[in-house]
Amino acid sequence: MPISDNLKDHILDSIGEGVFTVDKDFRINFFNKSAERITGKSRDEVMGHFCKNVFRSEVCFTDCPIAIVLKTKKIIYDFENKIQCKAGNMKPIKLNAAVLYNENDEPTGGIVSFRDLSELETIGMNLQNETNFHGLIGHSKQMKDIFQLIEEIAETDAPVFVQGESGTGKELVANAIQKLSTRNKNSYIKINCSVFPQNLLASELFGHVKGAFTDAVKDRIGRFELADQGTIFLDEVAEMPLQMQIQLLRVLQEGTFERVGESVTRTSSVRVIAATNIDIKDALKNGKFREDLFYRLNVIPIEIPPLRKRKEDIVPLARHFLSKFSLYYKKQILEIEEEALNVLLNYSWPGNIRELENVIEYAFVRTTKRDVIEKSKLPPNVVEAASNGTITSNTKQFFSDSSARVELLAALEKFHWNKTHVAKELKIGRTTLWRQMKQFGLTK
């Protein structure tokens, strides 16, 4: 059944993300309540105004996210930016942008959703102690191995190549490596290589001089120069055009590059962390990714398993997101009822942790009368897909069918790692519990 415009507006008004839409002239024609809260500007103040005059961001003139989507025809995720608030201060945000098309496939407007990064950072810092490893969460053996590897390699300058499906947390792994590295006091620059067309990507990475191409209205420093003595995170690196791959290879081999439109050779000492969500073997086989570049980047490979292959991480991740949204929405919902947990455990999570986070937020927003997430509040498509998949009758069944390690972990999660309660539940002594936890490598 299609939902009414009123209900859509109500949903958009109840979410924590700021959302606004613009028409094809870039005049704002929708502005939700969270956008009002984040910017301090009321809907009446901004409706009908050009977005550049409302947000007064530098990128409005250089890298307008909607213009990037128009050029590349790809939705932008997690684009970091700063916008001006009503008080005049610039606020860091993280945004997603997409373009709306009519039936003739012509752009008719754009939609941007954004979060207050300073708020997210504060929440992130508050929750840092609840994570297992510098912002990462995982009790599975695969994740523990990754944590150990990160610790071992963090202090070297060797390039790292992170592989994993979309939403598995590649950027968080990169963040953890940077945080533990000797370069952690220097700049940390991130760029998503897939969102820029070839000419713009060269300019983003290496900078340009005025007049180098149509859009080059003034000199601009590139990300490699900005990252000098620090770290650069090249997300979606396998989407980089082949011509650009040659230039990147040269930076990796010699540490030199030129700004677009200039012949002066510049140098930069940068540690490169690259990531991709595509099958790199296929990309190499099809000639879409240069082998020489791959071997340069792949000095330390890290492969993050999809969430469906480490189901024991689902519960702690879900709990973490509940804590996050409790702080974000300022309401306390810290539990998930067993039936809802079964759904989460039986679902295959094609969108991985990002999807899990969205599902928890959806249920969180919809939970208004109780302080526990119920199955009925989960997205219907997830509930349906979970019931069509491999079904386990209940949480206990799932855990008992899995290894003893998973069973123990489930009990620990159930009692929030209170060992006295866990030992009582499992009818074992605290010493035995401690020994088993050690044996399975289970630490909070």
Partner 1 sequence: MSEMLGNQYFMARNYSAAQKEFEEVLLKYPDNRPAKKKLVVCYTQTRRLKESFAYFLDIIKTDIEFIVKTDTIRDDCPCAELIEKLEPRSTNYLDTFDYNLTLGIIWLYCDILQSKHYFTKLKKMEPSNLDIEAVCVEIDNYLLKVV
Would you count residue 109 as binding partner 1 (CB under 8 A)?
A: yes
Smallest gap from residue 294 Cβ to partner 1 (A):
34
Would you count residue 108 as binding partner 1 (CB under 8 A)?
A: yes
Smallest gap from residue 52 Cβ to partner 1 (A):
6
- Closer by beta carbon to partner 1, 64 or else 162: 64
Tell me the window of 30-38, 61-69, 133-141, 258-266 that interacts with partner 1 (CB under 8 A).
61-69
Cβ atoms of 442 and 409 within 8 Å: the answer is: yes
Would you count residue 10 as binding partner 1 (CB under 8 A)?
A: no
CA–CA gap between residue 69 and residue 96 (Å, rounded): 10
CA–CA gap between residue 114 and residue 111 (Å, rounded): 10
SS percent in the chain: helix, strand, coil, step 5: 50, 20, 35
Which one of residues 4, 214, 286, 390 is an interface residue with partner 1 (CB under 8 A)? 214
Tell me the window of 21-29, 116-124, 201-209, 281-289 that interacts with partner 1 (CB under 8 A).
21-29
Smallest gap from residue 114 Cβ to partner 1 (A):
18
Nearest Cα to 38, choosing from 115, 102, 132? Answer: 115
Which one of residues 25, 88, 264, 380 is an interface residue with partner 1 (CB under 8 A)? 25
SS3 label, residue 186? coil
Which one of residues 33, 43, 52, 144 is an interface residue with partner 1 (CB under 8 A)? 52
Which one of residues 24, 37, 331, 444 is an interface residue with partner 1 (CB under 8 A)? 24
Nearest Cα to 336, choosing from 372, 376, 382, 380? Answer: 372
Q: What are phi and psi of 203, to 5 degrees?
A: -70, -40
Binding mask 68-107 for partner 1 (x = CB under 8 A): --xx---------------------------x------xx
Would you count residue 198 as binding partner 1 (CB under 8 A)?
A: no
DSSP code of residue 355: H
Which one of residues 13, 40, 45, 62 is an interface residue with partner 1 (CB under 8 A)? 62
Smallest gap from residue 347 Cβ to partner 1 (A):
37
**89: its two tokens:** 């201060």
CA–CA gap between residue 134 and residue 140 (Å, rounded): 16
CA trace torsion 126, 167, 311, 325 (10° rounding): 30
Smallest gap from residue 211 Cβ to partner 1 (A):
11
CA–CA gap between residue 117 and residue 408 (Å, rounded): 36
In this structure, the strands spanning 160-163 and 300-303 are parallel
Q: How many CB atoms lie within 10 A of CB 222?
A: 22
Binding mask 155-194 for partner 1 (x = CB under 8 A): ----------------------------------------
Would you count residue 66 as binding partner 1 (CB under 8 A)?
A: yes
Among residue numbers 287 through 306, which ones bind partner 1 (CB under 8 A)? none
CA–CA gap between residue 431 and residue 182 (Å, rounded): 39
- Closer by beta carbon to partner 1, 24 or else 444: 24
CA–CA gap between residue 282 and residue 299 (Å, rounded): 19
Smallest gap from residue 411 Cβ to partner 1 (A):
56
Nearest Cα to 167, choosing from 358, 309, 355? Answer: 355
SS3 label, residue 372? strand
Binding mask 240-279 for partner 1 (x = CB under 8 A): ----------------------------------------
DSSP code of residue 218: S
Tell me the window of 5-13, 56-64, 75-83, 253-261 that interacts with partner 1 (CB under 8 A).
56-64
> How many residues form the binding site for partner 1 (CB under 8 A)?
23
Would you count residue 217 as binding partner 1 (CB under 8 A)?
A: yes
**90: its two tokens:** 């610039």
Which one of residues 110, 169, 222, 305 is an interface residue with partner 1 (CB under 8 A)? 110
Nearest Cα to 190, choosing from 178, 203, 207, 208? Answer: 178
Smallest gap from residue 62 Cβ to partner 1 (A):
8
Q: How many CB atoms lie within 10 A of CB 317?
A: 21
CA–CA gap between residue 50 and residue 44 (Å, rounded): 13
Q: Where on the chain is the footprint of partner 1 (CB under 8 A)?
A: 24-26, 50, 52-53, 60-62, 64, 66-67, 70-71, 99, 106-110, 214-215, 217
